[in-house]
Chains A and B, each alone.
Chain A
């Protein structure tokens, strides 16, 4: 620093400095409040009006549970909820297995074309949903898979879930699981596996007793992420399901076209609660699994 130091601070100067730092504090607080209000106020309003005792979603006229009751009585909504759950569970299970295996393969082995496969796994994360949706739609049409449904009795609900939607969800979920699991794998101390084999464990025992338990927080985190993404997905479901198959988000979209009632607010609140619970669960798991290496599930 070649510039000469400013003259010693006078009392006035000190006051000015104090005012400036206070002003900075106030404006930061205000900015923070405004930012949070912008993000969360619509959600709060949405939740509040799901309890509104009138058909209006903007004018408050008293508290009621009625819209929730109507929601659960609406056969189409219930069917779409079962569809969403079934789809999310099945695609999460498949994607978690595939994603974990892919992560292990990419992290542990060297093979021809690894770099290409590696970047391919990021593709579904990066490209716009709509591009992926159209891609899948064309694929299902051209391959002749079409929209053949899987007819299944799921907790008493008779579902017909097109294989195409399941494949579509597995396609993007696998990438997310692979990325989350791989991050965990990269942090893992490989000498632990060496220690296991040094203690007479064969390759399978090493995987079963050491690698898999150490990876578990990553796998669960990846699975929860996949489950949430599948529940929330609209675009890919919409394009790959053909006619007549509704998940909850697709159903909500259909309802909005006929006008917005607090029933939609109630459905949205339900989805919000489920998504938030999943996030809380994943945070709890990563906290319990030990500390610093938390599983990030943010999108």
Chain B
């Protein structure tokens, strides 16, 4: 039954001395999936990847690749290949020799090696570069050679350790699209380590968000962004407002009280919260709107929240404007409004306003 997964981690722990780098991580990565391990530096994502590759052995727990337990199997015996952050191209070999290395070690016949090297070079659009030394190539080209060197071996799983980290922004964006297209073309499972949330959201089928060696949430990009499971995920992915609240009721409806005493309804609450607990209401800046005080409905709907505040700061960022609003209890929230309304007067600093949002967008998270 494990065969359904390209890679499975079961309760994996990695300790370096006193430091727990990876803390009871379990993951199931499906065949053909573009799966990202996302988190800040030091969160354990690279260690997790290195354990799958075989460079590190788990302190406890088990790793399966297509149902086969890896145990203490060394990297050269595992059906995976790695694209390293610094590319790790062999500087004393030509590009073609670099790409041929894995096949040579597996004693693939010479003429087949030659053919597959040419194919791999064509695949990464570097045909004819085979005789150069890695040093003679640009960063982006070296990156593509590293990719070709790994993919030419037709691994069951390709591991990528922040492979675009060293490239400049423009090249990185182009490579993101190229990588994603390549992955769809070859149909190989990609496990991609990154600290760049935008990169992870753009490319991945699913993402595991990690921090301090723990997986906080696994899901597709939309659910990670729209339904963050806890405060860390909400904070790490995108921009979020956290408004301090106290839980008033959890069923039939989730109701929380702001510090001003005003009660608002929310769409979802993290497990483990109980009535009376302190918590935060998390809501994305683009999910809110600003109303003029006179626009306040006489009998407000239960599904909408209305909170009084004052505009204190405006930042124009092109497509939209970030409005900073201070609420009655002194907490600040950011509201992003699109700059597309015709005939509507822009907000000015110092204006009284009412911040409103649909209760379904508000998530109550532990502090």
Contacts and interface: CB of A to CB of B under 8 A. Distances in A.
Interface residues of B, number: 25
Interface stretch (A170-178, A194-202, A267-275): A194-202
A165 to B, nearest CB: 37
Interface residues of A, number: 18
Interface string A166-199: 0000000000000000000000010110111111
B102 A200 contact: yes
Contacts of A199: 76, 81, 101-102, 105, 149, 153
Interface stretch (B64-72, B86-94, B269-277): B86-94
B91 A195 contact: no
Given A202-B76, A210-B90, A213-B92, A195 B82 contact: yes
A64 interface: no
A189 B75 contact: no
Contact of B88 (A192, A200, A205): A192
A16 B55 CA distance: 67
Given A195-B82, A198-B75, A202-B76, A290 B105 contact: no
A214 interface: yes
B232 interface: no
A206 to B, nearest CB: 8
Contacts of A194: 53, 55, 75, 82, 84, 88
Given A192-B88, A210-B90, A201 B105 contact: yes
Given A197-B76, A202-B76, A191 B88 contact: yes
A205 B55 CA distance: 17
B74 interface: yes
B106 interface: yes
A189 to B, nearest CB: 7
Contacts of B149: 199
A196 B74 contact: no
A262 B149 CA distance: 63
A213 B89 CA distance: 14
A240 B361 CA distance: 88
Given A194-B75, A214-B91, A290-B91, A189 B102 contact: no
Nearest to B149: A199
Contacts of B86: 189, 191
Given A191-B84, A205-B105, A197 B90 contact: no
Contact of A189 (B82, B88, B135): B88
Nearest to B153: A199
Of A189, A200, A210, which is in contact with the most chain B CB atoms at under 10 Å from its CB? A200
Nearest to B77: A200
Contacts of A290: 91, 135
Interface in A201-216: 201-202, 205, 209-210, 213-214
Contact of A192 (B54, B80, B90, B105): B90
A201 B76 contact: yes
Contacts of B92: 213-214
A198 B76 contact: yes
B340 to A, nearest CB: 48
Interface string B122-150: 00000000000001000000000000011
Nearest to A210: B90
A200 B76 contact: yes
Of A195, A196, A197, A205, which is in contact with the most chain B CB atoms at under 10 Å from its CB? A195
B88 A195 contact: yes
B16 to A, nearest CB: 14
Contacts of B105: 199-201, 205
Contacts of B81: 198-199
A291 to B, nearest CB: 9
Contacts of B80: 198
Contacts of B89: 195
A164 B81 CA distance: 52
Contacts of A196: 90, 101
A251 to B, nearest CB: 42
Contacts of B91: 192, 214, 290
Contacts of A192: 88, 90-91
A274 to B, nearest CB: 30
A227 B307 CA distance: 84
A201 B105 CA distance: 6
A247 B251 CA distance: 98
A290 B136 CA distance: 12
B54 to A, nearest CB: 8
B174 to A, nearest CB: 24
A236 to B, nearest CB: 36
A195 B84 contact: yes
A209 B88 CA distance: 14
A209 B102 CA distance: 12
Contact of A201 (B53, B54, B88, B101): B101
Contacts of B53: 194, 198
A211 B199 CA distance: 34
Contact of A200 (B84, B90, B106, B135): B106
A288 to B, nearest CB: 12
A210 B76 CA distance: 14
A7 B105 CA distance: 75
6 contacts: A192-B91, A194-B55, A194-B75, A194-B88, A198-B150, A201-B105
Given A197-B75, A205-B105, 4 more contacts: A192-B90, A195-B90, A198-B150, A199-B153
Closest 8 CB pairs of A and B: A199-B102, A195-B88, A200-B105, A191-B88, A197-B75, A200-B76, A198-B82, A213-B92
Interface of B: 53-55, 74-77, 80-82, 84, 86, 88-92, 101-102, 105-106, 135, 149-150, 153
Interface of A: 189, 191-192, 194-202, 205, 209-210, 213-214, 290
